[in-house]
Homo-oligomer: A and B are copies of this chain.
Amino acid sequence: MALDERKLEVLRAIVEDYVATQEPVGSKALVERHNLRVSPATVRNDMAVLEEEGYIRQPHTSAGRVPTDAGYRLFVDKLSRVKPLSQAERRAIERFLIGAVDLDDVVHRTVRLLAQLTRQVAVVQYPSLSRATVRHFELVPISTTRIMVVMIAETGRVEQRLVDLPGPILADDVTELRRVINEKLVGQRLAETPPLVLALIEEAAPGLRPPMTALSTVLLETLVERTEERIALAGTANLARGGLLDFQGSLRPILEALEEEVILLKLFGEVEPSITRVRIGDENEIEDLRTASIVATGYGPGSMVVGGMGVLGPTRMDYPGNIATVRAVARYVGDLLAQS
């Protein structure tokens, strides 16, 4: 059955009121607060239909209605317009991010900013290495048989690793190794380097094969294969706001899921830039997050995606507001990365 204009309007009103008050909303209150030009009885008929279609439900026989996950979904897809941010909010974002001194600081500030603006739990993925390109490799001799390898990514991220060499090495040879490595790898996307790294061994002068082998082994292990990606989290205290009504009473599973970085990374597995993905309640693949909703998007310089960010909260959340905020923050951070 197609839902006519007014029924949709009723659904929107229910979602908005329920999000605001956290209480089941009844027909009378609805008519009063939104100026629907019909009587409560009419609204009740509409509600009956909406319930039949699975968009709302009654917690118990004589209570008001509450949106279902499907109801929120319809609301997000069809009934809500993204709220443009206020001037004040835009300025707050700029001011908050402007002072960042390095990449870690950007991420750190971003996640706190998101948590503060949305009053939800915020999650930001550190710019991922595998999607980044290499700006420079530096080899720093620590002793005659030890070198520290430092990789600087285009995003500003720095990774370093100690390498034990099979035998002592001369300063000039280190210079040569540095030259070869940089020549072959700079400008490449990290995800595409493994064959190049292997080729490095062939590339090296015969006398340099042993140290180069040690080096490339470490490079492969730690810089390429290691998909380890970090996550920053903030605003977990916001979970405890909704008086335990949200998340059906127990924060435990949510907090547990948030500590599993693997789970969080999975959420960002398929993020795309300028597309904001919303996962509502049951739509989440992760069991423990079935009582929560997630608004996530990708970010990065220009149209590139180097990571994801988003917020997590009760299904009863301000979707239009949160979507707008996440989107805006992601764009600002993207611009920031593009500059550096």
> Which residues of chain B have C-beta atoms less than 8 A from A340's C-beta?
162
Give the total of A residues in contact with B, Cβ under 8 Å: 33
Q: How far is the CA of A136 from the CA of B259 in the complex (A)?
A: 35
Interface residues of A in 140-176 (CB under 8 A from B): 140, 142, 148, 150, 152, 156, 158, 160-162
Q: How far is the CA of A150 from the CA of B151 in the complex (A)?
A: 11
Segment touching B, from A32-40, A81-89, A207-215, A250-258: A250-258
Does the CB pair B158–A150 fall under 8 Å? yes
Minimal beta-carbon separation of A84 from chain B (angstroms): 29
Does the CB pair B235–A240 fall under 8 Å? no
Minimal beta-carbon separation of A211 from chain B (angstroms): 18
The residue on B at minimum CB distance from A249 is: B244
Q: How far is the CA of A332 from the CA of B234 in the complex (A)?
A: 30
Number of copies: 2
SS class, residues of chain A in contact with chain B: mixed
Other-chain residue from B234, B237, B256, B258 in contact with A252 (beta carbon distance below 8 A): B237
* Interface assignment of A101: CB less than 8 Å from any CB of chain B: yes
The proximity string for A residues 242-280 relative to B, scoring 1 for CB distances below 8 Å and 0 otherwise, is 001000001111011011000000000000000000000
The proximity string for A residues 79-116 relative to B, scoring 1 for CB distances below 8 Å and 0 otherwise, is 00000000000000000000001100000000000000
> Which residues of chain B have C-beta atoms less than 8 A from A138's C-beta?
138, 140, 150
Minimal beta-carbon separation of A107 from chain B (angstroms): 12
The residue on B at minimum CB distance from A221 is: B101
Other-chain residue from B237, B256, B258 in contact with A256 (beta carbon distance below 8 A): B237
* Interface assignment of A185: CB less than 8 Å from any CB of chain B: no
Q: How far is the CA of A154 from the CA of B99 in the complex (A)?
A: 29
> Which residues of chain B have C-beta atoms less than 8 A from A15's C-beta?
none
> Which residues of chain B have C-beta atoms less than 8 A from A259's C-beta?
234-237
Does the CB pair A241–B237 fall under 8 Å? no
* Interface assignment of A135: CB less than 8 Å from any CB of chain B: yes
Does the CB pair A222–B101 fall under 8 Å? yes
> Which residues of chain B have C-beta atoms less than 8 A from A329's C-beta?
none
List 20 contacting pairs A-B, 8 Å CB cutoff, sorted by A: A101-B222, A102-B160, A135-B142, A136-B140, A138-B138, A138-B140, A142-B152, A150-B160, A156-B162, A158-B160, A162-B340, A234-B259, A235-B259, A236-B236, A236-B255, A236-B259, A237-B255, A237-B256, A240-B250, A240-B255
| Beyond A237-B255, A241-B252, 9 additional pairs, beta carbon < 8 A | A101-B222, A102-B160, A148-B152, A152-B160, A158-B158, A235-B259, A236-B258, A237-B259, A251-B251
